[in-house]
Amino acid sequence: MKKKIITILVLSSIFAISGCNMQKNAPEKEDSHIESKQKTYAEIAETLTKFEIGGITEQLIDELEASYAQMPPEIELDKTAMLLSALGMGTFDYEQNTWTPSANGVYSFDAEVFDIENMYTDFLLGVSALDADELHFENIREDTSKVNWDEGTGTRTVSFEWKGKAFCLEAEMEHDWFDLDVANGLNKIIIENQSNKRLFFASDGYQECIVFYRSTDWAEAFQEETGVVLSELN
């Protein structure tokens, strides 16, 4: 339970990480949230398109507008974050019980993971889909042999090969909650082996984690124009 609370707090306060080098240009969260509420989803989509985020359809815009109109006024939702979350969630085939990540420049996932047995495999696949050429992770293997499924405790690892090297990330098990140390560890690997781009993370203010693979210049411009504050998590 302790880690569950910590995970929610980290995701909901990711905008306020003091050591993040993106914070120097970060807009005030409250101001950016108000600005996002005042815009239509179509206006937000137009901005996102300028930053090479694809997959936006009129049907998605209409569905999000209809859903937002039914929300009680006391519920605070950031429209930009909600659109990004919808774009990055990928496609679920419930008949085949398979998931295909989005390939439109954004990846999102709920920190309380649905497919608990493959959560870090799916994470690597989701990140890899951000740039299939530069982030081509191979031979992904997830080892859950040290997990106590009944108690939701223990440790687990996910290993993969990239750029001719083998890597392994370890996660602490806490039921169905994602260990953010894995995201941080993967970003460190990418930064050490890929000089011009890295992972940037954002939150919807609740449990959704939104991931980008971009240059620092892109991230600074994106943050300034959209009001979505990005972090490298370090």
pLDDT 10s digits, 107-143: 999 999 989 999 999 999 999 999 999 999 999 999 9
Q: Are 160 and 137 in contact (CB under 8 A)?
A: yes
Q: Which residue has the higher pLDDT, 3 or 205?
A: 205
Task: Read off the pTM.
Answer: 0.85
Spell out the alpha helix ranges (H) of 21-93: 29-38, 41-50, 58-69, 79-88
Return d(Cα 83, Cα 135) in angstroms, integer: 24
At 77, is the pLDDT very low, low, confident or very high (cuts 50, 70, 90)?
confident
At 9, is the pLDDT very low, low, confident or very high (cuts 50, 70, 90)?
very low
Q: How far apart are the first and last CA of the chain?
A: 24
36: left (phi over 0), alpha (psi -120 to 50) or beta: alpha
Segments of 90-197 assigned E as strands = 91-93, 98-100, 107-110, 138-143, 147-148, 153-162, 165-172
Mean pLDDT, the chain, whole residue set: 87
Question: Is the predicted pLDDT of residue 31 greater than 70, yes or no?
Answer: no
At 195, is the pLDDT very low, low, confident or very high (cuts 50, 70, 90)?
confident
99: Cα within 13 Å, side-chain hemisphere: 20
Backbone torsions φ then ψ of 106, nearest 5 degrees: -145, 140
Per-residue pLDDT at 92: 92
Compute the average pLDDT of residues 162-174. Answer: 97
Compute the average pLDDT of residues 80-98. Answer: 93
Q: Are 154 and 147 in contact (CB under 8 A)?
A: yes
Compute the average pLDDT of residues 173-190. Answer: 96
**Radius of gyration (C-alpha) of the chain in whole angstroms:** 18
Question: Is the predicted pLDDT of residue 8 greater than 70, yes or no?
Answer: no
Three-class DSSP category at 49:
helix
Compute the average pLDDT of residues 169-188. Answer: 97
Order of strands, edge to edge, in the sheet holding 198-203? 107-110, 208-214, 198-203
Compute the average pLDDT of residues 163-170. Answer: 97
Q: Which residue has the higher pLDDT, 34 or 184?
A: 184
Per-residue pLDDT at 234: 66
Per-residue pLDDT at 21: 37
Question: Is the predicted pLDDT of residue 11 greater than 60, yes or no?
Answer: no
Question: Is the predicted pLDDT of residue 35 greater than 80, yes or no?
Answer: no
Per-residue pLDDT at 75: 81
Q: Which residue has the higher pLDDT, 76 or 191?
A: 191
40: left (phi over 0), alpha (psi -120 to 50) or beta: beta
Question: Is the predicted pLDDT of residue 7 greater than 90, yes or no?
Answer: no
At 57, is the pLDDT very low, low, confident or very high (cuts 50, 70, 90)?
very high
Per-residue pLDDT at 100: 96
- How far apart, in Å, are the Cα atoms of 121 and each of 73, 124, 125, 227? 38, 5, 6, 31
Q: Which residues contact 29 (CB under 8 A, 6 or more apart)?
A: 15, 16, 229
Q: Which residue has the higher pLDDT, 74 or 149?
A: 149
- How far apart, in Å, are the Cα atoms of 54 and each of 51, 102, 138? 9, 10, 25
